[in-house]
């Protein structure tokens, strides 16, 4: 089967949809942030960095700028480990950790 430009576009569209599916529960609003943003902050030990995320609240992915802060406070919630970490908007401003053997030792705060 020959791979046409149209078919390739369709495949890419389907793969992108798969990446964003499963991050949100029905009706839940939040932002998707790449795992490497959390990893880089933990490794660098810096207090705060500007990161990029994708807002899925409107149902259509929208790029946005956020602030990710490393904190000493205990996490209010553990987030699911994945290449793309979904952070519900109700957890913005609260310390969260990621369910990962190494990252679970760190607390992060996500803010607009």
Alpha-carbon dihedral 27, 30, 34, 40, rounded to 10 degrees: -150
- The number of helix segments (H) and strand segments (E) in the chain equals 2, 7
**pLDDT tens figures, 72-82:** 999 999 999 98
The percent of residues above 90 in pLDDT, for the chain, comes to 50
**Is the torsion defined by CA of 42, 48, 54, 57 positive or negative?**
positive
Residue 4: per-residue pLDDT: 85
Question: Residue 106 has what pLDDT?
Answer: 94
User: Per-residue pLDDT averaged across 28-37, rounded?
Assistant: 89
Mean per-residue pLDDT of the chain: 85
Q: Per-residue pLDDT averaged across 6-16, rounded?
A: 79
* pTM for this predicted structure: 0.74
């Amino acid at each position: 089967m020959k791979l046409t430009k149209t078919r390739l576009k369709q495949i890419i569209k389907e793969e992108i949809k798969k990446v964003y599916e499963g991050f949100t529960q029905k009706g839940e609003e939040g932002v998707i942030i790449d795992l490497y943003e959390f990893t880089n902050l933990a490794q660098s030990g810096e207090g705060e960095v500007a990161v990029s995320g994708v807002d899925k609240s409107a149902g259509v992915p929208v790029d946005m700028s956020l602030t990710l802060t490393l904190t000493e406070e205990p996490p209010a919630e553990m987030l699911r480990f994945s290449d793309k970490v979904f952070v519900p908007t109700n957890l913005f401003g609260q310390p969260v950790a990621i369910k990962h053997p190494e990252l679970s030792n760190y607390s992060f705060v996500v803010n607009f």
